[in-house]
Amino acid sequence: MTAHIRAHGVELEITLQHLIMRPTVLLAALGQEARSLDIAEITTVELSEQATAFQHGTVRIHSAQGTITELTFSPGTAQRQQRFLDLLQQAQMGSLPDEHPDPEPEPQEEPQREEEHELNFAALDVETANSDWGSICQIGVAIVRAGVVVDKRSWLCQPPASLSYFDPMNTAIHHITAETVVDEPPFAQVLGEVVEYIGDLIVIAHNAQFDMTALRRAAQAAGAPIPTLAFGCSLTLSRAAHLGVENHKLPTLAQFFQIDFHDHHDACADALACAEIVLGIAQKAHYEGSIRGLYEHFHFNLGSLNADRVYPVLKQPSAYITDDATSNAHSADDSTAGSRVGKEKHENNSRHNRNKWEKAATPEIIPQPNEHADPQAPLFGQCITLTGDFSPFDKAVLWEKIAYQGGIIAKNVTKKTTLLAIGAWESITTKQKRAEELIGKGQDITMWTSRELFDALGLDPTQIEEEQPPF
């Protein structure tokens, strides 16, 4: 007689002799092994925390040897948690229900609000040991359910061995040293715990392209499976919200939203601030709904991290189409306005398309990389291609600034490309498609939004736009 049930991160098998706990495929790949308890050795089964719609549940199992095994049940699985307790008690009494080839379906979970109606997400931040983005030495996560921060955790870890050097410049910022993490678990182990903790929540980070690329690079360096995550960026969201702040750094935004923010560059503190900022933006926008819906409200598509690539948070294509470009749909009454209106509309559309291509045009002369550039500059040594519209900046200006940092500029995406910056466009460009094709073949290409490029170059498009006369 055997019974099966699922807990958070493990599949449980209950027989009259054993309780077997098998990790999920991802956690097994990260090194977690199956465990077994003898039913006869179990002395006490303790319901420590009841699972609710928003909180994890916990069961502690005490053995005659003095060991304690803790099992976690996901939010909304109170009936499954109780079913496990009942099955374990029956096994201790020497009786289990027979499983049939077509097993009885699991009981319904506790009623939950559907995901599209609530603000659920995991805010995340990483700190690195040196300038290599993969040298992660700390990860912090804050869990938000139904618009409320319900939990937070922090992990110190040893960076991947090949990236484990602690730069004094980084240490001066976050105060983490090699001695701090000498007794901490390796990154690969911590990554598994973080992934399990996040579950299926969408991840939000401040300048998310950095954090997601850091996770991917660290996993590669550590030989660990790269997790699959959907993610949003609080930096992108704060800019789109037009908050009227001096800049969009975490401390500035925390002050704007009156968030109690201390220990900047502690990963957990930064993750918590990120979560509160997103909640503040949603409240200011009078938005009620899911985290995915919040990004759609501001006309963004979420990014994604997987084994193949880090795909950035991007403006939805429809958000770039002007009134001229979308004015083709008119009522029957509009059609009676005569050929003059049709001619004007055609001229407007032609002018719009001409201006669009002019903005995206590639300059003829490529500046050479600065031989005396700072090796710590964010674009130093990168082979960079631009695609799309980068208004209000001309591409020639961007090229000059990239070259000044020691970046190598290429007009097209090639096998040497390491970074593709994606500006506004009405559809996926040929260069982006080529980059995705190369990424699919194993090439390591990072994709940035125009905002991320502007940040790396120290440019503020809002200041340029505000200086333009209202023609």
Of the pLDDT bands very low, low, confident and very high (cuts 50, 70, 90), residue 309 is confident
CB atoms within 10 A of CB 70: 10
Residue 183 has phi, psi (to 5 degrees) of -105, 10
How many residues can be counted in the chain? 471
Burial of 412 (0-12, 13-18, 19+ CB in 10 A): exposed
Q: What is the DSSP letter of 424?
A: B
- Among the ranges given (71-75, 76-80, 286-290, 361-365), the one the predictor scored with the smallest mean pLDDT: 361-365
pLDDT at site 230: 93
Amino acid 78: pLDDT: 82
Please report the pLDDT score of residue 256 as a whole number. Answer: 96
pTM: 0.54
For 314-323, the pLDDT digits (tens) are: 876 544 433 3
Amino acid, res. 49: E
Superfamily of domain 121-315: Ribonuclease H-like superfamily/Ribonuclease H (3.30.420.10)
The fold of 383-457 is Rossmann fold (3.40.50)
End-to-end CA distance of the chain: 80
In the CATH scheme, what is the code of domain 2-93?
A: 2.30.29.30
Question: For residue 423, how many other CB atoms are within 10 A of its CB?
Answer: 24
The per-residue pLDDT for 105 is: 42
Place of tokens 């190369």: 438
Closest Cα to residue 134, out of 159, 156, 154? 159
Domain-wise residue ranges, the chain: 2-93, 121-315, 383-457
